[in-house]
Amino acid sequence: MKYCLFFLPILLLSNIAQAMPITDATIIQRGNEYSGVSHWHQKQTKNSRKQTGWIKKGDTIYSPWAKHWAEYTAYLTKGVWDIGLNVINRGNLHVDWYDTFKVRSRLTDPSRIAQEVLKIKASDEQIYHAFSRVEIASAGDYTVRYQWLNDKWGGRKDPLRRDANIQIDSVFFNRVPEPSSLALLSLGAIILMSRKRLGAVSLKTENG
């Protein structure tokens, strides 16, 4: 039982990592708070056949075409960080058409982390997320670049006009608790369970 309680905080953290958007991280930046983008489309017109680059939408940005990148910079202290993004689909989804965003994630300093491809569930109703776990050796400003890789726009040949524009709701930099912090959290859970058990035994003794 005590081993289960020890791993409880870790399991809880794992469940949080699979939840919808992450909104309570150490550092949160809105989608339009980027430090750099590959291309900025200033004005969207009806006569434009092809909208490329990024377009602002409130606190977010979206790109109607794949392979464009957006960068976000934050000051990170030494330690382990989960760096990721919350996204939603801004196009039209269809059954068996588009279920996953593929986004390349890497720090601009390639010596810090090898790039990886994040797979995020695509939805036009719910925000989903993914992240990379990065060990930061020394404090400083770090920039993460996200590049959208897959686009399955049906084009004019597709009567349903299906699309899959990626919309960045926010980006997060979340510091991972050190093992000692997790141990303290586990100890607190054990003490709490012990007190509840002792209280139940005392109550039973008094009533018995």
**Is 165 within the bounds of a domain?**
yes
**Is 154 within the bounds of a domain?**
yes
Number of compact structural domains in the chain: 1
**Is 195 within the bounds of a domain?**
no
What does pLDDT average to over the chain? 78
**Is 53 within the bounds of a domain?**
yes
Please give the pLDDT value at position 152. Answer: 73
**Is 77 within the bounds of a domain?**
yes
Mean pLDDT lowest for which of 10-19, 110-119, 163-172, 197-206?
A: 10-19
Cβ–Cβ under 8 Å, residues 145 and 85: no
d(CA 82, CA 90): 25
What is the residue range of 62's domain?
19-176
CA angle 26/68/162 to nearest 5° reads 105
Q: Judging by DSSP bridges, how do beta strands 100-107 and 140-148 pair with one another? A: antiparallel
- Higher-confidence residue of 191 and 159: namely 159
Cβ–Cβ under 8 Å, residues 120 and 100: yes
**Is 191 within the bounds of a domain?**
no
The model carries a pTM of 0.74
d(CA 10, CA 86): 22
| CATH code of the domain in which 137 resides | 2.60.120.260
Please give the pLDDT value at position 14. Answer: 35
Please give the pLDDT value at position 26. Answer: 97
Please give the pLDDT value at position 43. Answer: 61
**Is 58 within the bounds of a domain?**
yes
